[in-house]
């Protein structure tokens, strides 16, 4: 059983005990522990269940590569599933529960899958659930969903906050082991701006555990000195608990800082996502040890040899009293030596190589540890924990030579450089036969905007396999990166190291080499997704020869650890099955992030009120305080209506319509776009932009205009006012201001750049208020300051002046058919001017109105609305707007497109009004059907509704719609089937779209 040792644990502070719970059990650990080390210290070797067979799972690794130890962490607002125990720092009060089992971790019903494992091979689901279709939906899927899946989904809203941080550096170094530190020293010496990030809380990586001696110092001391040195440099910034998550084009990188995961609730943001632009990136990401494939290698107690060493050295935790070491290389002997030094028993070291006599091997032998060469594990015994192993010859088929009792197994299949970040942006790999791993192909680095390599690797990530080589490589990488970033590198020397010579490893992909199918069905490759050697072999047999196909068929490497332990082993099995060399089979693609990062970090500040920008007019606060029911219009919030006590939204809208028609309404129209266009060629320019003529508009006058795109489709409309000889003011729709301003600039900058025209988007300079209704003039006359009579300021003219003491520009334009003034004042005066109108308007029956009232007023008048009557496929001719299309102009944007045969087709649907026979309101978007059916057997459609409202003025439903030959069919009744399932058909008569005041007398008074 795993336990805490009396001494040791370089990362622990044994004076600071911490309490935590696992599955409700109260346990104790120390500051410096990870959740994994603390669980092991408490004898908790069983930590979860596998995904498919629900087999018992224990901790395998000590870092980001851990496939098994995923837990539900925290509670309520801080609950999060699938947290990796090996990368979770312990803190006082931590609560964790295990995942993927029912009813309990120790007794799990799902484990029945395990006994059926031989019936659940790779591709089982694909093969079995093909037919019948109904069985999938009603039988299989519900069962699988209940038994599969990892942690629980959080129920409560996340109570933490998150943020982003942008950083621009010359050299970004990912990984704070000795390679990263030395690379930072070398790069920093040149004066380059260096950012060094390390995913864990401590610096130095594996070196202190492996016991290297650097520059005559212990690794521990060397690291301390390197940190002191680096921290003293103004141009170097160090960041721990910050994982390089992804490398992207043009030197962009993401790093994921876990600011307060280990101090929840201390007021700091939980995570910070670093968005980094670096001229050069060095990945000093180290290497990951590979498991060995032997029968029962997934039983709790079987761990990576390096992890065993980590738990002893870093956390003072023994994984077991009797640990068998099994290896194909010298490095694992370090684990045996460390176990021995901790006073633990190593019954045997099984070395698969035919001979072993390197320095470390001899040291182990000198410690009187039994070493068996050419041997391997025939099988591991035990269920929920290791109880022993059988020894076999590696060369044979696995006949047991000897049984040995043990409670832990430390395995080492060699090391694979962490090439993920190198590969994210296109870095290529080469196969290293000596070390049986893929390493970066230095000649094929990811390239940047200049076409030059911008990622370098340092240390073990490059494939350097000894401390001396690591530091030399890192020193070179640091200097090279500084140089590539435009700095002259200082000649820093790599530290001196007396490497312990190691003998070559031997690739071992299956133990024993000739294992039969029974054994291969118990050799796990992917512990989390339950993929075994036999599954990959089956995939190959069934024709999934591409590594990408085999991966998807077997799900190898598709678990949350993304195959950090299983990729190379699986690839080797596949290549053996295909009789091809490993590099020919190739690797799967590495994609960011390196390990999962939180959604909170990705979102950053963009949640709640900051989820997206909300635009408010200068009068917004008044609206909010006076019953406004807001609706989003683009990013703006506009009052839909102003509700009075106990009124429904609908009642409020109807009241506003009637009151505006009969007395006086007030609309905040500030959101309408306002664009100044000025210059000697401004008239010519506007003639190109609008379908009608604007150059001949007289100063002081207004004209309604339409804009089309080059496809001929209507994109915006609004009133244009001529302000001066060479100045026009163009009003756009609320959603159109930025778009149309950009549209204008596009043509001026990219097509007609020799035309002398300047534009300015002055939308937000003004609060614009529409004073609408029969009493509009009375109100303005009461406020006084300028002559607003019909004679001085007739319909479709504008004037500057003063109203009620406010500087104003007054437009006599109407979108309601009523007497109407749109008054623009400085936005800073908007709130006060609105207040002045409200106060003075009381005696005239003034009421503010919202956008729905505006819509009804315009629909009653048959005025089109961009986005209702138009949908990106409608041309002005469809809407009966020929009167607004100049016949005289030789060109305007969209003119050529409108000449195309489809645009002049008489069968195009055209705008008409529609009145239901029973006075009801047709659903918006309803389609009209004609006689016959189309090729698909559907009813022929002959038109559709574009706007539909209840008109309080006419006390009936009114609608506008596009109908085939519509204007020629006045008086005809057409059918609108409903889609509510009742089969009801609404009958509507085609009428003139102007429902109210057809002669337009009310607005022109």
Partner 1 sequence: MLLLECPYCGVAADETELAAGGEAHLKRETVGSLDAEFEEYLFMRENPRGVHFERWRHAYGCGKWFLAARDTMTLEVFGTYPAQSKKPPKAIENLIKKKRPDWKGWA
Partner 2 sequence: MSEPQTALQGATAQGFVTVSEDGLHGMISLRGDLNDPKLKAAVAKLTGAEVPAAGRISWKGDRGVAWMSPDELLVIGPYSSAGKDALVLSKALKGVHHLVANVSDARAVFRIEGAGFREVLAKLTPADVSMDAFGIGQIRRSRFAQVAGACWMLEEGSARVVCFRSVAGYIFGLLEHAARSGSEVGYF
Q: From the list 7, 24, 153, 266, which residue makes contact with partner 2 (rule: CB under 8 A)? A: 266
Residue with smaller CB distance to partner 1, 627 or 679 = 679
Which of the listed partners (partner 1, partner 2, none) does 764 bind, with a CB threshold of 5 to 8 Å by partner kind? partner 2
Residues pairing with 380 in the sheet: 389
Which of the listed partners (partner 2, partner 1, none) does 99 bind, with a CB threshold of 5 to 8 Å by partner kind? none
CA distances from 974 to 861, 862, 920, 987, 988 (A): 22, 19, 15, 6, 6
Q: How far apart are the first and last CA of the chain?
A: 96
Place of tokens 């307060």: 260
Q: Does 806 bind partner 2 (CB under 8 A)?
A: yes
Which of the listed partners (partner 2, partner 1, none) does 28 bind, with a CB threshold of 5 to 8 Å by partner kind? none
For residues 475 and 495, what is the distance between their CA atoms, to the nearest angstrom? 9
Residues with Cβ within 8 Å of 322's Cβ and at least 6 positions away in sequence, in order, are: 344, 345, 346, 347, 405, 406, 407, 408
Binding site for partner 1 (CB under 8 A): 248-252, 277, 447-451, 710-711, 742, 745-746, 749-751, 753, 890-891, 895-897, 899-900
Q: From the list 78, 164, 365, 956, which residue makes contact with partner 2 (rule: CB under 8 A)? A: 164
Which of the listed partners (partner 1, partner 2, none) does 491 bind, with a CB threshold of 5 to 8 Å by partner kind? none
For residues 784 and 80, what is the distance between their CA atoms, to the nearest angstrom? 64
Residue with smaller CB distance to partner 1, 7 or 449 = 449
Least distance to partner 1, CB of residue 751, Å: 6
* Three-state DSSP class for residue 469: helix
Encoded one letter per residue, x for contact with partner 2 by CB under 8 A and - for no contact, window 824-863 reads --xxxx-xx--xx---------------------------
Residue with smaller CB distance to partner 2, 454 or 509 = 454
Residues pairing with 144 in the sheet: none
Q: Does 764 bind partner 2 (CB under 8 A)?
A: yes
Q: Does 750 bind partner 2 (CB under 8 A)?
A: no
Residue-wise DSSP of 160-191:
--EEEEEEEEEEEEE--BHHHHHHHHHHHTTT
Q: From the list 16, 118, 137, 168, which residue makes contact with partner 2 (rule: CB under 8 A)? A: 168
Residue 118 burial by Cβ neighbours in a 10 Å radius (0-12, 13-18, 19+): exposed
Least distance to partner 2, CB of residue 696, Å: 22
Q: Does 679 bind partner 2 (CB under 8 A)?
A: yes
Residue with smaller CB distance to partner 2, 207 or 677 = 677
Encoded one letter per residue, x for contact with partner 2 by CB under 8 A and - for no contact, window 225-244 reads ------------x-------
Which letter, b or e, does each residue of 904-915 get, where b requires 16 or more Cβ atoms within 10 Å of its Cβ? eeeebbbbbbbb
Residue with smaller CB distance to partner 2, 10 or 615 = 615
Least distance to partner 1, CB of residue 753, Å: 4
Q: From the list 43, 680, 784, 925, which residue makes contact with partner 2 (rule: CB under 8 A)? A: 680
Q: From the list 24, 103, 267, 932, which residue makes contact with partner 2 (rule: CB under 8 A)? A: 267
Which of the listed partners (partner 2, partner 1, none) does 272 bind, with a CB threshold of 5 to 8 Å by partner kind? partner 2
Least distance to partner 1, CB of residue 238, Å: 25
Residues pairing with 404 in the sheet: 389
Least distance to partner 1, CB of residue 57, Å: 38
* Three-state DSSP class for residue 587: coil
Residue with smaller CB distance to partner 1, 463 or 736 = 736
- How many chain residues bind partner 2 (CB under 8 A)? 55
Site for partner 2 in 589-608 (CB under 8 A): 604-606
Q: From the list 401, 517, 599, 614, which residue makes contact with partner 2 (rule: CB under 8 A)? A: 614
Longest CA–CA span in the chain (Å) reads 114
Residue with smaller CB distance to partner 2, 237 or 969 = 237
For residues 514 and 534, what is the distance between their CA atoms, to the nearest angstrom? 13
Residue with smaller CB distance to partner 1, 453 or 600 = 453
Residue with smaller CB distance to partner 2, 173 or 389 = 173
Residue with smaller CB distance to partner 1, 743 or 909 = 743
Residue with smaller CB distance to partner 2, 306 or 761 = 761
Q: Does 615 bind partner 2 (CB under 8 A)?
A: yes
CA distances from 128 to 88, 119, 137, 160 (A): 39, 11, 13, 44
Which of the listed partners (partner 2, partner 1, none) does 449 bind, with a CB threshold of 5 to 8 Å by partner kind? partner 1
Which range in 48-56, 57-65, 272-280, 379-387 contacts partner 2 by CB under 8 A? 272-280
Q: Does 399 bind partner 2 (CB under 8 A)?
A: no
Tell me how crowded residue 237 is: count the other CB atoms within 10 A of its CB. Answer: 17
CA distances from 392 to 347, 370, 520, 917 (A): 15, 15, 15, 91
For residues 590 and 417, what is the distance between their CA atoms, to the nearest angstrom? 13
Which of the listed partners (partner 1, partner 2, none) does 900 bind, with a CB threshold of 5 to 8 Å by partner kind? partner 1
Cis peptide before 420 (omega within 30 of 0): no
Cis peptide before 307 (omega within 30 of 0): no
Q: Does 166 bind partner 2 (CB under 8 A)?
A: yes
Least distance to partner 2, CB of residue 282, Å: 19
For residues 880 and 509, what is the distance between their CA atoms, to the nearest angstrom? 77
Residue with smaller CB distance to partner 1, 17 or 742 = 742
For residues 323 and 345, what is the distance between their CA atoms, to the nearest angstrom? 6
> For 75-213, where are the alpha helices, taking DSSP H only?
112-115, 124-128, 133-135, 141-147, 178-188, 207-210
Encoded one letter per residue, x for contact with partner 2 by CB under 8 A and - for no contact, window 659-678 reads -----------------x-x
Q: From the list 272, 564, 703, 910, which residue makes contact with partner 2 (rule: CB under 8 A)? A: 272
Residue with smaller CB distance to partner 2, 270 or 379 = 270
For residues 550 and 545, what is the distance between their CA atoms, to the nearest angstrom? 6
Q: Does 258 bind partner 2 (CB under 8 A)?
A: no
Q: Does 759 bind partner 2 (CB under 8 A)?
A: yes
For residues 479 and 190, what is the distance between their CA atoms, to the nearest angstrom? 8
Which of the listed partners (partner 2, partner 1, none) does 165 bind, with a CB threshold of 5 to 8 Å by partner kind? partner 2
Q: Does 609 bind partner 2 (CB under 8 A)?
A: yes
Residue-wise DSSP of 495-550:
PPB-PPP-PPP---SSBSTT--HHHHTT-EEETTTTEEHHHHHHHHHTT--SHHHH
Q: CB–CB of 944/962 below 8 Å?
A: yes
Q: CB–CB of 531/566 below 8 Å?
A: yes
Q: CB–CB of 988/922 below 8 Å?
A: yes
Residue with smaller CB distance to partner 1, 443 or 980 = 443
For residues 421 and 590, what is the distance between their CA atoms, to the nearest angstrom? 8
Q: From the list 224, 275, 384, 944, which residue makes contact with partner 2 (rule: CB under 8 A)? A: 275
Least distance to partner 1, CB of residue 447, Å: 6
**Contacts for 221-230: CB closer than 8 Å, 24+ residues apart:** 222/178, 222/495, 223/178, 223/181, 226/178, 226/181, 226/182, 226/185, 227/181, 227/203, 229/185, 230/181, 230/184, 230/185, 230/188, 230/196
Least distance to partner 2, CB of residue 259, Å: 8
Residues pairing with 960 in the sheet: 913, 947
Which of the listed partners (partner 1, partner 2, none) does 522 bind, with a CB threshold of 5 to 8 Å by partner kind? none
Which of the listed partners (partner 2, partner 1, none) does 791 bind, with a CB threshold of 5 to 8 Å by partner kind? none
Site for partner 2, rule CB under 8 A: 161, 163-168, 193, 237, 266-269, 272, 275, 277, 604-606, 609-610, 612-618, 635-636, 676, 678-680, 756, 758-760, 762-766, 804-807, 826-829, 831-832, 835-836
């Amino acid at each position: 059983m795993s336990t805490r040792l009396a001494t040791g644990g370089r990362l622990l502070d044994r004076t600071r005990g911490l309490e935590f719970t696992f599955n409700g059990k109260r346990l104790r650990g120390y500051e410096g522990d990870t959740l994994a080390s603390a669980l092991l210290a408490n004898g908790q070797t069983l930590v979860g269940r596998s995904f498919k067979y629900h087999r018992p799972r224990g901790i395998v690794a000590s870092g980001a590569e851990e496939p098994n130890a995923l837990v539900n962490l925290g509670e309520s607002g801080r609950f999060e599933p699938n947290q990796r125990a090996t990368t979770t720092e312990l803190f006082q009060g931590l609560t964790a529960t295990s995942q993927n089992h029912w009813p309990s971790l120790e007794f799990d019903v799902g484990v029945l899958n395990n006994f059926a494992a031989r019936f659940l091979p790779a591709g089982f689901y694909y093969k079995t659930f093909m037919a019948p279709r109904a069985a999938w939906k009603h039988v299989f899927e519900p069962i699988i969903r209940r038994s599969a899946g990892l942690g629980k989904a959080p129920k409560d809203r996340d109570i933490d906050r998150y943020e982003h941080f942008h950083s621009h550096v010359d050299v970004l170094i990912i990984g704070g082991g000795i390679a990263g530190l030395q690379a930072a020293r070398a790069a920093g010496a040149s004066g380059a701006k260096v950012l060094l990030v390390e995913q864990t809380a401590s610096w130095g990586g594996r070196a202190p555990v492996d016991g290297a001696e650097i520059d005559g110092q212990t690794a521990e001391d060397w690291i301390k000195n390197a940190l002191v040195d680096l921290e003293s440099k103004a141009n170097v910034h160090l960041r721990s608990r910050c994982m390089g998550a992804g490398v992207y084009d043009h030197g962009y990188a993401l790093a994921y800082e876990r600011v307060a995961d280990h101090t929840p609730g201390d007021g700091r943001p939980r995570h910070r996502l670093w968005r980094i632009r670096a001229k050069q990136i060095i990945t000093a990401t180290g290497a990951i040890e590979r498991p060995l494939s032997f029968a029962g290698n997934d039983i709790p107690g079987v761990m990576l040899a390096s992890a065993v060493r980590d738990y002893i050295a870093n956390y003072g935790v023994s994984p077991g009293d009797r640990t068998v070491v099994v290896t194909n290389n010298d490095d694992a002997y370090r684990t045996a030596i460390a176990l021995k030094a901790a006073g633990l028993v190593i019954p045997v070291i099984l070395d698969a190589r035919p001979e072993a006599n390197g320095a470390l091997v001899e040291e182990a032998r000198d410690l009187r540890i039994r070493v068996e060469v050419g041997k391997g594990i025939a099988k591991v015994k035990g269920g929920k924990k290791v109880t022993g192993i059988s020894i076999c010859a590696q060369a044979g088929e696995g006949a047991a030579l000897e049984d040995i009792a043990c409670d832990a197994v430390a395995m080492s299949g060699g090391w694979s450089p962490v090439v993920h970040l190198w590969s994210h942006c296109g870095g290529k790999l080469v196969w290293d036969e000596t070390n049986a791993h893929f390493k970066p192909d230095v000649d094929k680095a990811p390239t940047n905007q200049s076409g030059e390599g911008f990622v370098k690797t340092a240390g073990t990530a490059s494939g350097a396999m000894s401390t001396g080589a690591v530091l030399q490589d890192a020193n070179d990488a640091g200097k090279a990166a500084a140089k590539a970033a435009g700095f002259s590198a200082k000649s820093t020397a790599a530290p001196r190291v007396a490497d312990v010579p190691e003998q070559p490893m031997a690739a071992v992909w299956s133990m024993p080499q000739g294992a039969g199918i029974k054994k291969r069905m118990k050799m796990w490759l992917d512990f989390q997704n339950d993929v075994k050697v036999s599954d990959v072999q089956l995939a190959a047999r069934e024709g999934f020869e591409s590594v990408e196909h085999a991966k998807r068929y077997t799900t190898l490497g598709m678990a949350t650890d993304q195959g950090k332990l299983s990729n190379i082993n699986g690839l080797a099995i596949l290549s053996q099955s295909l009789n091809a060399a490993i590099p020919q089979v190739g690797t799967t693609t590495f994609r960011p992030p390196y390990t999962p990062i939180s959604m909170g970090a990705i979102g950053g500040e963009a949640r709640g009120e900051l989820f997206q920008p909300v635009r408010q007019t200068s009068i917004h606060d008044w609206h909010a305080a006076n019953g406004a029911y807001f609706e989003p219009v683009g990013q703006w919030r506009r009052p839909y209506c102003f509700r009075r006590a106990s009124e429904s939204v609908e009642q409020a809208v109807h009241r506003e319509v009637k009151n505006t028609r009969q007395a006086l309404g007030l609309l905040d129209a500030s959101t309408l776009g306002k664009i100044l266009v000025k210059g000697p060629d401004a008239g010519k320019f506007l003639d190109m932009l609008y379908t009608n003529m604007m150059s001949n508009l007289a100063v002081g006058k207004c004209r309604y205009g339409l804009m089309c795109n080059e496809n001929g489709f209507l994109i915006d409309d609004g009133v244009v006012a001529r302000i001066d000889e060479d100045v026009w003011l163009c009003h756009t729709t609320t959603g159109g201001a930025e778009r149309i301003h950009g549209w204008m600039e596009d043509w001026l900058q990219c097509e007609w750049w020799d035309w002398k025209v300047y534009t300015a988007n002055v939308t937000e300079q003004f609060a614009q208020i529409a004073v609408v209704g029969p009493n509009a003039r009375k109100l303005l006359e009461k406020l006084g300051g300028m002559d607003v009579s019909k004679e001085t300021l007739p319909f479709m003219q504008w004037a500057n002046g003063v109203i009620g003491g406010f500087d104003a520009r007054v437009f006599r334009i109407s979108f309601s058919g009523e007497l109407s003034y749109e008054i623009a004042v400085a936005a800073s005066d908007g709130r006060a001017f609105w207040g002045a109108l409200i106060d003075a308007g009381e005696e005239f029956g003034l009421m503010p109105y919202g956008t729905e009232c505006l819509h009804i007023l315009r629909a009653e008048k048959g005025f089109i609305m961009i986005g209702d009557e138009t949908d990106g496929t409608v041309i002005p001719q469809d809407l009966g707007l020929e009167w607004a299309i100049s016949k005289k102009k030789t060109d305007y944007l969209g003119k050529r497109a409108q000449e195309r045969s489809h645009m002049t087709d008489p069968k195009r649907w055209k705008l008409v009004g529609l009145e239901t026979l029973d006075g009801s309101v047709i659903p918006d978007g309803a389609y009209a059907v004609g006689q016959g059916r189309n090729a698909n057997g559907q009813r022929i459609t002959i038109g559709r509704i574009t706007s539909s409202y209840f008109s309080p003025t006419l006390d009936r439903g009114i609608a506008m719609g596009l109908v085939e030959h519509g204007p020629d069919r006045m008086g005809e009744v057409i059918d609108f089937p409903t889609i509510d399932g009742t089969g009801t058909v609404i009958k509507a008569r085609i009428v003139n779209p102007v429902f109210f005041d057809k002669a337009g007398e009310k607005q022109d008074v």
